[in-house]
A = this chain, B = another copy of it.
Amino acid sequence: MKKVKIYVTLRESILDPQGSAVQSSLAKIGYDEVADLRIGKYLELTLNDTERDIDSLIKEMCDKVLTNVVIEDYRYEIEEAN
């Protein structure tokens, strides 16, 4: 079994209205130290043992279902599940 952590972020060039809204809310209650805030997704998958190549499997799932490659980037980490 493997545990996979996937971090999905909006591409640098894409505006993040959700992040901006949270940032201005924080500023309004006094947290004006925050210069920038962007919000992405964090996915934790548990994968059963498989004969397929894990890297290509994850990339396929990300490209097809888990992310929108037009506006999002992703990176991932694979760990041994205990």
- Chain A interface (Cβ < 8 Å from any Cβ of B): 1, 7-9, 19, 22, 25-26, 29, 31, 33-48, 50, 52, 57, 60-61, 64-66
Q: Which of B40, B47, B48 contacts A43 (CB 8 A)?
A: B40
Q: Which of B31, B40, B42 contacts A61 (CB 8 A)?
A: B31
In the complex formed, the residue of B with least CB distance to A46 is B36
State whether A7 touches B42 (Cβ < 8 A). Answer: yes
Starting from the known contacts A19-B43, A22-B66, A33-B52, 9 additional A-B residue pairs (CB-CB under 8 Å) come to A9-B42, A22-B65, A33-B50, A34-B46, A34-B48, A35-B47, A37-B45, A39-B42, A40-B42
Question: Can you give 8 contacting A-B residue pairs, CB < 8 Å?
Answer: A7-B42, A8-B42, A19-B43, A26-B61, A33-B48, A33-B57, A36-B46, A37-B44
